Structure 1
Amino acid sequence: MGQPQGRPAGADRVSGLGAVSAAVQPTLTVLHVGCGPPNPNALPAALRTQNWRELRLDANAEMQPDIVASITDMRQVSDGSMDAVYSSHNLEHVFPHEAPLALAEFCRVLKPDGLCLLLCPDLQTIGQMIAEGRLLEPIYHSAAGPISPIDMLYGHRASMAAGNLYMAHRNGFSAASLTQLMQEAGFAKVAVTRDPARFSLWGLGFRIDIGDELVARCQANLGIGHPALPPPRG
C-alpha cells in the first residue's frame, strides 16, 4: 500500500511524528523547555508514556532542570537531536524580538521528522474579556491560585509580588501572529488551534511538510482540544 497523500516516507518510524501518529515506539526524547518545577503530569499524556524520556530545560536553576538555559539560546542541545519539543507558556515571557530566536531554537534542535508543541495565552480571548470589563475577575484557578485576565496579559501578580519575576509577561500572540512566527522560524508545516476553554493557543510545528490528515491525527493523539491536556500554568 502506498503512502497517504502528504505523508512523508518513514513518518511512522522512530520519530516524534511517528510516535504521536502511530502506535508503540521505542524510547524517544522530548525536550521540555521552560519546564518549571518537577511534575510528572506536566507533559500531555501522549508525551509521558513509557516510550518517552523527558529532558527538562529551564532558565531558573531552582527548578532543578537537566539543563539550565534560556529558550532563546539552547546551544547545550545539539542540532537535530530531539524527537519533540514541548513549551507550555514560555513564549509570552520573552520580549517580542526574542520570540523568533526561541522558535528558531525549537526548530533547530528537532530531528527532521520531529515535532514542536507549544501553548501560550490567546490574546483574542483575553482581549474580549477585558473589553467586557472583566480585567480583574478570576476566570480559572491554578495551583498558584486564581488567575484573572490581567495575570494572563502581564504575568501572575502574586508570583511577581513574591519576587519571582520569571513570571512576568513581555509578549503576546494571536493565532495569526503565532502561525507567522513559527513559519518564519523554519517550521515547514504549522497548525495553530484556538482553545477558548483554556484561553490559550496550541501551536503544532513540523520541520517537514506533511498533509493535513497526518496533522489532524497528531492533534488527536496529543489531545489538542480535549480535557486530557494539562491546564495553562499562567
Structure 2
Amino acid sequence: MTQPKVLNVGGNSKAIALPPIFDGYEHLLLDIDPTGKPDLLCDARELTSTPAAQYDAVYCSHNLEHYFRHDVPRGLAGFIHVLKPQGFAFIRVPDIQEVMRIAVERRLEPDDVLYQSASGPIQVLDVLYGWGAQIARSGVDFFAHKTGFSPALMNKTLRAAGFANVYIATGNLEVGALAFLQPPDAATRQKLGLPASG
C-alpha cells in the first residue's frame, strides 16, 4: 500500500507540524514564497493547471481568508482538482462570528488585545484584517484578510464548491472544516472522529 499524500497549502514551511490526523502521510508543501522550499511553488488558484487527483488530502490552515471572496471558489476548485475521489480537505480559518461576539461582549475596540499568542498580543483587528505586524514587516499585501467566515458560511461555501460531505467544528476562535468529495467510509470516519453516519 502506498503512503497517502497531503498537500499543505500555504503552510510556509515543513518544519511547522501538521495536525495528528496526518500522521503517516507524506507531507508536500504548496506556497507562493520560495523561502520555505515548497514542493509546489504556486498560488492555490493555479492548482487546476496541475495534474489531477494526486493527493489524498489537502490541508489549508489560515490561508483561505487571504483571498477575495470572488477568488475563494477558484482556490477550492483547485483543491477539488488535486484531490483523489475519496480525498478530503481540512480547512481552518478565523471564526469571524465568534470574534465579533467576544468583541461586543467585552466591549473591545478594534485595536484592543483579543488574546496573547506566542508571537505577541493579537488585537481584534489582527483577526479581522490580518496580522498587522506581519503585513508591515513583510510588505506583502497577500497576508491581509480579504474574506471572513462564520461556521454557516464555511459550510455553504464548501458545498457550493462541490464538496458533498462537510463537517464543521468551532473553537479557539477558528472554524475547522473537514470536506469530502464523496461520503467517507467507516474507517475514515472512525480515524477522524466523525459521526457514524450523516
User: By the TM > 0.5 criterion, same fold?
Assistant: yes
Deviation at 1:219, TM superposition (A): 3.5
Kindly indicate whether residue 56 of structure 2 is the aligned counterpart of residue 83 of structure 1: yes
Determine the C-alpha separation between the residues in 2 that align with 1:90 and 1:40.
14
Q: Which amino acid aligns with 1:202?
A: G
Instruction: In structure 2, list runs of 5 or more residues that go unmatched.
Output: none
Tell me the number of residue pairs that the alignment of Structure 1 and Structure 2 aligns.
Answer: 191
Name the stretch that deviates more: 128-137 or 144-153: 128-137
Q: As a proportion of its length, which structure holds more helix?
A: 2
The 8 Å contact of residues 97 and 150 in structure 2, kept in 1 or not, is answered as yes
Which residue of the other structure, out of 96, 100, 121, is the alignment partner of 1:127?
Answer: 100
Determine the C-alpha separation between the residues in 2 that align with 1:169 and 1:40.
21
Determine the C-alpha separation between the residues in 2 that align with 1:206 and 1:151.
30
Determine the C-alpha separation between the residues in 2 that align with 1:209 and 1:102.
22
Deviation at 1:46, TM superposition (A): 2.3
Determine the C-alpha separation between the residues in 1 that align with 2:184 and 2:21.
20
Q: How does 1:29-44 map to 2 (within 5 A)?
A: 29-41=5-17, 43-44=18-19
What residue number does 2:146 align with? 170
Determine the C-alpha separation between the residues in 2 that align with 1:189 and 1:114.
11
What residue number does 2:175 align with? 201
The 8 Å contact of residues 159 and 165 in structure 1, kept in 2 or not, is answered as no
Q: As a proportion of its length, which structure holds more strand?
A: 2
What residue number does 2:68 align with? 95
What residue number does 1:146 align with? 121
Q: 1:187 to 1:92 in 2, by over 3 A?
A: same
Give every structure 1 segment of 4 or more consecutive aligned residues whose post-TM-superposition deviation is greater than 6 Å.
Answer: none
What TM-score results when the alignment is normalised by the length of structure 2? 0.87
What residue number does 1:52 align with? 25
Show CA shifts across 1:33-81 (max 9, x none). 011133241x10221x3x2111100112223211111111114532111
Deviation at 1:137, TM superposition (A): 3.1
Q: How does 1:58-77 map to 2 (within 5 A)?
A: 58-75=31-48, 77=50
- Secondary structure of the structure 2 residue equivalent to 1:74: helix
Q: 1:40 to 1:159 in 2, by over 3 A?
A: closer
Q: Which amino acid aligns with 2:121?
A: P
Q: 1:63 to 1:143 in 2, by over 3 A?
A: farther
Deviation at 1:218, TM superposition (A): 4.3
- Secondary structure of the structure 1 residue equivalent to 2:112: coil
Instruction: In structure 1, list runs of 5 or more residues that go unmatched.
Output: 1-13, 15-25, 222-234
Show CA shifts across 1:97-156 (max 9, x none). 001111111112110111110100111101112323223333333343221221010000
Sequence identity of aligned pairs in percent? 32
Determine the C-alpha separation between the residues in 1 that align with 2:33 and 2:160.
28
Determine the C-alpha separation between the residues in 1 that align with 2:157 and 2:151.
10
Higher relative contact order, chain-length normalized (CA < 8 Å, sep 6+): 1
| RMSD, matched Cα | 2.1
Determine the C-alpha separation between the residues in 1 that align with 2:20 and 2:32.
24
Determine the C-alpha separation between the residues in 2 that align with 1:165 and 1:123.
20
What residue number does 1:187 align with? 163
Determine the C-alpha separation between the residues in 2 that align with 1:100 and 1:80.
18
The 8 Å contact of residues 155 and 168 in structure 1, kept in 2 or not, is answered as yes
Q: How does 1:3-14 map to 2 (within 5 A)?
A: none
Q: 1:186 to 1:88 in 2, by over 3 A?
A: same
